[in-house]
Amino acid sequence: MSVVTFNLLPDTARLWIYGGERAFSETEAKTLTDHMNAFMEQWTAHKRELITAWELRYNRFIFIGVDEHRMAASGCSIDSLVRSLREFEKHIASIIIGTNSKIFYRDEHQTIHCVERNEFKALVERDIVNEDTIVFNNTLQTLRGLRQGKWEVPMKASWHSEVFGRALV
């Protein structure tokens, strides 16, 4: 299959971002690398090759990209991706989270946290998290947004502000 690096995918490439409930250990990151490389090599849509890329950031976030100009990822191919990530979860006894079921943010010490939405709201209400807190927008759908710096941003520049901004002190 056509596994490439992210810099070879166009801005319009489809993007999925998954976050580990906790950071992966070095051993887990190596296992993930082996697992994802094997999956990406065989990943197809309707038995046709996909042009794909993946990378791990901060030993916590899994970025997966597909150049859909030649072949789009189908529902079945996306399901196979999710199944593959669920298989990996079993090896590490931790959860990998998609889009926005939980919130990822950095505290004042630059530590990345993963919390439930109601816990994040409580942190906002107690002014532990504010409009300048760095949040991770894992809902980006194309590489363009990632390349434009819309992934790791202050809360005031993300959807988080619209959802949780009313709770700001």
Domain ranges of the chain: 2-97, 102-167
* Residue 17, pLDDT above cutoff 70: yes
Q: Provide the percentage of residues in the chain whose pLDDT is more than 70.
A: 88
Q: Which of 60, 7, 17, 8 is nearest to 150 (CA)?
A: 17
CATH, range 2-97: 3.30.70
- Residue 83: how many CA atoms within 13 Å on its side-chain side? 8
Asked whether 26 and 60 are in contact (CB, 8 A), the reply is no
The pTM assigned to this predicted structure is 0.88
* Residue 69, pLDDT above cutoff 90: no
Confidence of residue 167 (pLDDT cuts 50, 70, 90): low
Asked whether 19 and 138 are in contact (CB, 8 A), the reply is yes
DSSP 101: S
- As given in the structure block, the two tokens for residue 59 are 């030993």
Cα(125)–Cα(86) distance, integer angstroms: 34
